[in-house]
Chains A and B, each alone.
Chain A
Amino acid sequence: MSAYLHCPLCGFEFEKRDTACVHGCPLGRFCKLVRCPNCQYEFSDRPESMGLLQRLFHRPRPAAVPRDALPLPELGEGESSELVCLDCTHASRRNALAVFGLVPGCRVVLQQKRPAVVVRVGETELALDLDIAREILVRRV
């Protein structure tokens, strides 16, 4: 599980600690809700707990991945590409990439693949794990 939680209401991202309620609720640590320190909104950090309801009403469709998109490491070294989408499971990972400018539409140059992937976004050189790089889908330009 990701170490960071993403508040669905205000979008604030925080670590899962000090997130319990403060009003002496008898449920104590058995409570499954976490509270966003920014907006005080309470939500469940384990979405699978609402399995049945979710299956009935909120069936998440697989994201439509364009045909010509391919994982970043499949490019050759030195090849330039345009980022199509981030196929990340964790919001925190997508956020971590976004702050370096890795968002759909940006130009990415793959500089090397071994021993770790190095990409160039604008004037930023970024070293990534191979499995993170695989989640970056790009289109050749």
Chain B
Amino acid sequence: MIAEAPILTASHPVILVGNPNVGKSVLFSKLTGKFVIISNYPGTTVEIARGNAAVGDDTVEVLDTPGINELAAHTDDARVTCDVLRDHPDATIVQVADAKNLRRALLLTQQLAERQQPMVLVLNMMDELDRCGAHIDARKLGELLGIPVVPTIATEEIGIELLKKAAAEVGAASPPRFVGFPPGRGGDAAPTTRLEELLTRANKILAQVHTHIRPRRPSFGQKLGWWATHPVKGLALLALVLYFTFWFVGLLGAGTAVDFCENVVFGRQVSPWAIRLVDAGLLFPHQHDTQESRFRLEIPLTPAHGIALHESTAAVLAPTYSYDPGAIPGWWTQAKRLAHDFLVGEYGVITMALSYALAIVLPIVTTFFLVFSILEDSGYLPRLAIMVNRVFRTMGLNGKAVLPMILGLGCDTMATMTTRILESRKERVITTLLLALAVPCSAQLGVLLAMMASVSFAAALSWLALMIVIMIVIGWLTARLLGGPTSDFILEIPPMRQPQLANVLIKTMARLEWYLKEVVPLFVLGTGILFVLDKLRVLGQIARLGEPLVTGWLGLPAETSNAFLIGFLRRDFGAVCLLEAATGPQPLLTPHQVLVAMITITLFMPCIATLFMISRELGRRTATVITLFIFPFAFLVGGLVNHLGNWLGF
């Protein structure tokens, strides 16, 4: 068995194919036990996922593919699927079908059957079919098609074992044949295209296996779905969703949770203990300063009001210290001081990198990913596409582009990959540019929300308005520059579903794990660079070099130069540095300066990883052009806002 397994894996993989949003990924994770992101909208999967499933005594490789409606590569994600099918001519195809939409699935079944590969048809979401008041005779369907048909409810793990058995059996049997088809055309309307011909055939099969009883009244979920796309009710619902997100992420996450983690967990416990520990290990004569740490536990209602539950102040050790320069002779003491500073100094790994990444950004992304996962699973996001289609048209995009844009609020790198669901290169370039330019990712969004709390509500609104205006103007200009038609807006709307708590939690945990693995090392690296530059006394020189730009043009204090410098690495890291300057007992920045800094850092390139992803998806040249545009543009807009503000007398 052990010797056989790899051979079997290599020769007969199982490929999950099917229409978008039918539950291929759910089935994949149930078959293999591997985690993949599962959401309720078409286009969640844009890349192949691989895993191994135990079938009987054997191990079989299972491949999850992006959804396709027909076997033609119109979009890049469909191309991925077609390529996989082409590369594995000996694989067993498991076609996953939404039982409610069997007609469309049968269209694909017929196209797949032409490939002459062993095949199984899975009727997924049988529970939803039941709720629709319909019934499918799976056995008869299997007889008609000549292939095994397995009804499943993937989310409840019903029918998984049957599917494994069927896939194993069919893999050894002869290729599928279609029986019971009246060949050629027929019916009242003569079909004119091939797809119509296939659909006519599908109708004939359906007539024999599908019985339908109309449900008496639409469910609450259905009604909610209709409200979400209604011109007036939809806007009201959107406002409600936005306010809830703002309250949960901006006030509860970025306010209360960050306050607690930063001031109590890190400020009073972790940092002082780390300082004491390092001081005990690396002895050199110095005296740490103390600072006052204030903490207020409250349930926020609006940015200015809240119900205070608890308030406390404490004096804690600060990373800054005083020492007598003459009292440190010898290189050994100097080396110890260097190590001390690297760990707990002003630009220390523990006192800066970890406290920023874990105490400020982590609570924010946690709350954001929670809300985001709920929204994803509810099926609300594609409905947003209907609401914004008109606006997106002016940017040379259509409503579909709202999906990557919203995903960009989670992570711009992932969202750049999701642009594959768009049909033309023009749309992908525009969406990628707008993502990189003006859509802040979760970490940065949270920091920005926290910064907004330190300025007025009007400033926050003007930030939002400016970002929207920039998106529309830049989108419009880019569309003019690139030319070409915008592709048709034809988007399938998934049903509204109640999010499952388990999936929401698992998804949030998975994204947090990704955050900890990818972002925290970058924070440490950035801090390391700042530390080295500071020790080499280059930081001061860079600040002086950046003076005409930062102080002259943006009107910000020279100390903020390093925030922008580190913003090249990750713009949310830059934003955290600015947040530190904007808040605290003696804020370095005036409200007007906070606004200018916020706008400039928002327009920066999201992070190094996004740059790599753009270069992978669109090519190195486009990535270079986008980068060369973004940074000067960020400073240009920031400066304009500064001078406009000064002129208006802020």
Q: How distant is the Cα of A56 from the Cα of B159 in the complex, in angstroms? A: 62
Q: Is A122 an interface residue (CB 8 A)?
A: yes
Known: A104-B196, A111-B226, A118-B386. A3 touches B488 (CB 8 A): no
**CB atoms of A127 and B103 under 8 A apart:** no
Contact with A along B373-406 (1 / 0, CB 8 A): 0000000001001110110000000110000000
Instruction: For chain B, give the interface size range.
Output: 35 or more
**CB atoms of A124 and B492 under 8 A apart:** yes
Contact with A along B125-150 (1 / 0, CB 8 A): 00000001000000000000000000
**CB contact list, A18-67 vs B, under 8 A:** none
B residues in contact with A99, CB < 8 Å: 69-70, 104, 107, 195
Contact with A along B479-493 (1 / 0, CB 8 A): 000001101111111
Known: A3-B487, A104-B189. A122 touches B386 (CB 8 A): no
Q: How distant is the Cα of A115 from the Cα of B101 in the complex, in angstroms? A: 26
Q: Is B231 an interface residue (CB 8 A)?
A: yes
B137 CB, nearest partner CB in chain A, Å: 17
**CB atoms of A94 and B490 under 8 A apart:** no
A residues in contact with B69, CB < 8 Å: 99-100
A62 CB, nearest partner CB in chain B, Å: 15
Looking at the complex, which one of A3, A98, A122 makes contact with B193 (CB distance below 8 Å)? A98
B388 CB, nearest partner CB in chain A, Å: 8
**CB atoms of B493 and A127 under 8 A apart:** yes
Q: How distant is the Cα of A103 from the Cα of B494 in the complex, in angstroms? A: 21
Q: Is A87 an interface residue (CB 8 A)?
A: no
Instruction: For chain A, give the interface size range.
Output: 35 or more
**CB atoms of A95 and B399 under 8 A apart:** no
**CB contact list, A73-98 vs B, under 8 A:** 91-98
Q: Is B100 an interface residue (CB 8 A)?
A: yes
B residues in contact with A103, CB < 8 Å: 191, 195-196, 199-200
Q: Is B188 an interface residue (CB 8 A)?
A: yes
Q: Is B74 an interface residue (CB 8 A)?
A: yes
Q: How distant is the Cα of A22 from the Cα of B138 in the complex, in angstroms? A: 48
B526 CB, nearest partner CB in chain A, Å: 40
**CB atoms of A127 and B399 under 8 A apart:** yes
**CB atoms of B103 and A126 under 8 A apart:** no
Q: Which of A3, A93, A103, A114 has the most CB of B within 10 A?
A: A103
Q: How distant is the Cα of A8 from the Cα of B517 in the complex, in angstroms? A: 52
**CB atoms of B490 and A96 under 8 A apart:** yes
**CB atoms of A127 and B491 under 8 A apart:** yes
B residues in contact with A111, CB < 8 Å: 226
Inter-chain residue pair count (beta carbon < 8 A):
120
Which A residue's beta carbon lies closest to that of B235? A115
Looking at the complex, which one of A14, A104, A116 makes contact with B489 (CB distance below 8 Å)? A116
Which A residue's beta carbon lies closest to that of B198? A98
**CB atoms of A128 and B489 under 8 A apart:** yes
**CB atoms of B492 and A126 under 8 A apart:** yes
Q: Which of B100, B107, B488 has the most CB of A within 10 A?
A: B488
Q: Is A123 an interface residue (CB 8 A)?
A: yes
Q: How distant is the Cα of A124 from the Cα of B69 in the complex, in angstroms? A: 13
A residues in contact with B100, CB < 8 Å: 122-123
Contact with B along A1-19 (1 / 0, CB 8 A): 1011000000111110000
A1 CB, nearest partner CB in chain B, Å: 8
Q: How distant is the Cα of A134 from the Cα of B7 in the complex, in angstroms? A: 55
Q: How distant is the Cα of A89 from the Cα of B196 in the complex, in angstroms? A: 17
**CB atoms of B490 and A118 under 8 A apart:** no
Q: Is B216 an interface residue (CB 8 A)?
A: no
**CB atoms of A95 and B193 under 8 A apart:** yes
Q: How distant is the Cα of A127 from the Cα of B424 in the complex, in angstroms? A: 19
Q: Is B532 an interface residue (CB 8 A)?
A: no
A82 CB, nearest partner CB in chain B, Å: 10
Q: Is B288 an interface residue (CB 8 A)?
A: no
Q: Is B229 an interface residue (CB 8 A)?
A: yes
Q: Is B194 an interface residue (CB 8 A)?
A: yes
**CB atoms of B424 and A115 under 8 A apart:** no
B residues in contact with A97, CB < 8 Å: 490
**CB contact list, B546-584 vs A, under 8 A:** none
Looking at the complex, which one of A12, A14, A112, A125 makes contact with B230 (CB distance below 8 Å)? A112
A30 CB, nearest partner CB in chain B, Å: 21
Known: A3-B485, A122-B101, A124-B101. A95 touches B492 (CB 8 A): no
Q: How distant is the Cα of A92 from the Cα of B490 in the complex, in angstroms? A: 12
Which A residue's beta carbon lies closest to that of B400? A127
A residues in contact with B492, CB < 8 Å: 100, 124-127
**CB contact list, B68-82 vs A, under 8 A:** 69-70, 72-74
B residues in contact with A127, CB < 8 Å: 229, 382, 385-386, 389, 399, 489-493
B residues in contact with A114, CB < 8 Å: 231
Q: How distant is the Cα of A127 from the Cα of B490 in the complex, in angstroms? A: 6
Q: Is A132 an interface residue (CB 8 A)?
A: yes
A residues in contact with B262, CB < 8 Å: none
B residues in contact with A132, CB < 8 Å: 488-490
**CB atoms of A129 and B231 under 8 A apart:** no
Q: Is B412 an interface residue (CB 8 A)?
A: no
Looking at the complex, which one of B231, B234, B390, B491 makes contact with A126 (CB distance below 8 Å)? B491
Q: How distant is the Cα of A112 from the Cα of B233 in the complex, in angstroms? A: 13
Q: Is B259 an interface residue (CB 8 A)?
A: no
Q: How distant is the Cα of A111 from the Cα of B398 in the complex, in angstroms? A: 20
**CB atoms of B490 and A100 under 8 A apart:** yes
Contact with A along B179-203 (1 / 0, CB 8 A): 0000000011101011110011001
Q: Is B64 an interface residue (CB 8 A)?
A: no
Which B residue's beta carbon lies closest to that of A63? B192
**CB atoms of A98 and B195 under 8 A apart:** yes
**CB atoms of A112 and B229 under 8 A apart:** yes
A residues in contact with B399, CB < 8 Å: 116, 127
**CB atoms of B195 and A115 under 8 A apart:** no
Q: How distant is the Cα of A122 from the Cα of B19 in the complex, in angstroms? A: 15
- Other than A118-B386, A122-B103, give 10 A-B pairs with Cβ distance below 8 A: A97-B490, A98-B195, A98-B196, A99-B69, A101-B104, A115-B389, A115-B390, A116-B390, A127-B382, A129-B490
Residues of chain B having any CB pair with chain A under 8 Å: 69-70, 72-74, 98, 100-101, 103-104, 107, 132, 187-189, 191, 193-196, 199-200, 203, 225-226, 229-231, 234, 382, 385-387, 389-390, 398-399, 423-424, 484-485, 487-495
Residues of chain A having any CB pair with chain B under 8 Å: 1, 3-4, 11-15, 91-101, 103-105, 111-112, 114-116, 118, 122-129, 132
Residue pairs across A and B with Cβ atoms less than 8 A apart, 17 shown, are A3-B484, A13-B74, A91-B193, A98-B196, A115-B231, A116-B386, A116-B389, A116-B390, A116-B399, A122-B101, A122-B104, A125-B225, A126-B490, A127-B382, A127-B389, A129-B489, A132-B489
